[in-house]
Amino acid sequence: MTAVMTLSGEIPAGNGLDSDVALAAGGDQSAFERLYRTHVSRIHSLTRRMLSTQEADEVTQDIFVRTWQKLGQFRGESAFSTWLHRLAVNVVIERRRSFAIQRERMSDDPTALDGLTVGPARADLKVDFESAIGQLPPGAREIFVLHDVEGYKHREIAVMLDIATGTSKRQLHRARMLMRQHLSGD
Amino acid sequence: MHQEWTDRLSDYLDGELPADERDAVDEHLRSCASCAAVLNDLKRVVARAASADARPPQADLWRGIAARLNERGETARVVPFAAREARRFAFTLPQLAAAAALLIAVSGGVAWQFAARLGGQVRDVRSAELQARPDAPAASVAGAEGTGAADFARVENVSMADAQYDAAVADLEKALKAGRGSLDASTVAIVEHNLQIIDQAINQAREALAGDPANSYLSGHLVEARRRKLDLLRRATALASETD
């Protein structure tokens, strides 16, 4: 493999970096298409879970266009997949904020769990998991996806969403209890 | 089931509870089957989430992405450091290529001029001012004899720290001014024109760096432009001294 000179410097191929990343950073659209095909499932799943099936296609496209524009900023300090994923999360959060719904969704209502009836546990969690996520209220939904599906910590989520860590914890518990209810068929 | 206990189960499951609260929950769970069942359900929810599969979109989105890239002319896209809002300068690929070519042409052209004038024997000649400066940069007061390659080595040894660099440049400019009478008008015009171009490159890089201080490309660009200025001044000074 050979090093590739990009506008922001030389990215050494084969030095922990995917050569397609280096090629794409140098303007190679074919290499970028290969990156797209490698990562699109995870990115689309993220957008679908945090937003909706209807929005997921458009936002996924936005994410990859943004990725192409910002590839020159990728320094190889983390895995490309990690960098891409964080960029994707930021795009999704921007999308949500653009609809001016973040504040309402993040309200830290102490009565949020009031009225939630949780029945006895069922034998299996058979109901479609993706559908259950889609039924979560927006605030709880994005924190559940970020924490339990994507593996972010509460302190990271708090920074991303500009909320208190305690709010993130409470919304996560709310989401898990609702998921339990959905998945057990109550 | 007791909500006052189930409310703590996610924190309990995630290891977020202080030790005393965790002990209290443990004790309650040993005696409360319904809360223990909720905990088991939550564990299954968490495990299911952690193992969620990534599914591709139903439609191939690439064509739409490619169309947007091409619509925007993204194949010749703006360089990345243009993406930050605080940025003050953005260069296109052709602009950068032109700048690089210009710098190469400048140094190459000047070297050709001097080589032609001196028959390929460019010697390092120090200015009187440099000899008199005890605190002058080591590279600037290096030995008076040497080949062109040795000159380059000495130039590269000058620190690019502002104070030291500025002192070296000031000394060389003074020496060049004193010796310019020994150079013919066309050589003076070329040197001054090229210095002007390099100064513009230095100023642009500095201003761009002010808006994007962490940009390694800009830092390298600035260092290289400053090195070329020092190199040009040293060669011009050497030529002026040689033709005295």
Residues B180-207: tens digit of each pLDDT: 777 777 677 777 777 877 787 788 777 7
Give chain B's mean pLDDT. 68
pLDDT in tens, B164-185: 677 777 878 887 788 777 777 7
| pLDDT tens per residue, range B105-143 | 655 555 555 555 544 333 333 333 333 333 433 333 333
When comparing pLDDT for B152 and B9, which is higher? B9
> A177 vs B42: CB contact, 8 Å cut-off?
yes
The CATH 1.10.1740.10 portion of chain A extends over: 13-98
Tens digits of residue pLDDT in A92-140:
998 887 764 544 555 444 444 444 444 444 444 444 888 899 889 988 9
The whole-angstrom distance between residue A182's C-alpha and the CA centroid of its chain comes to: 22
User: Given pLDDT bands bounded at 50, 70 and 90, which one contains residue B100?
Assistant: low
ipTM above 0.95, yes or no: no
Angle at A175 between CA A169 and CA A176, to 5 degrees: 90
Domain ranges across chain B: 3-50, 80-242
Residue-by-residue DSSP string for A58-119: HHHHHHHHHHHHHGGG--SSS-HHHHHHHHHHHHHHHHHHHTT-HHHHT---TTTTTT----
Residues of B in contact with A144 (CB under 8 A): 49
CATH match for A13-98 among 1.10.1740.10, 1.10.3720.10, 3.40.190.10, 3.90.170.10: 1.10.1740.10
The two structure tokens encoding residue B212? 């994007």
Asked if CATH classification 1.10.3720.10 holds for the domain at A110-183, the reply, yes or no, is no
pLDDT at residue B113 in the model: 57
**A contacts of B45 (beta carbons < 8 Å):** 125, 148, 176, 179-180, 183
What whole-number distance in Å separates Cα of residue B150 and Cα of residue B146?
6
Residue B52 with chain A: CB contacts under 8 Å = 45, 129-130, 149
* Structure confidence at residue A118 (pLDDT): 41
A180–B45 C-beta distance less than 8 A: yes
State residue A61's pLDDT score.
Answer: 96
Mean of all residue pLDDT scores within chain A: 79
* Nearest of B211, B57, B161 to residue A40 by alpha carbon: B57
A117 touches chain B (CB under 8 A): no
Q: Which of A5, A6, A7 to mutate to test the interface with B (most CBs of B within 10 A)?
A: A7
Residue with the larger pLDDT of the pair B137 and B95: B95
CA-nearest residue of chain A to B9? A173
The boundaries of every CATH 1.10.10.10 domain in chain A are: 110-183
Taking 60 as the threshold, does the pLDDT of residue A65 lie above it?
yes
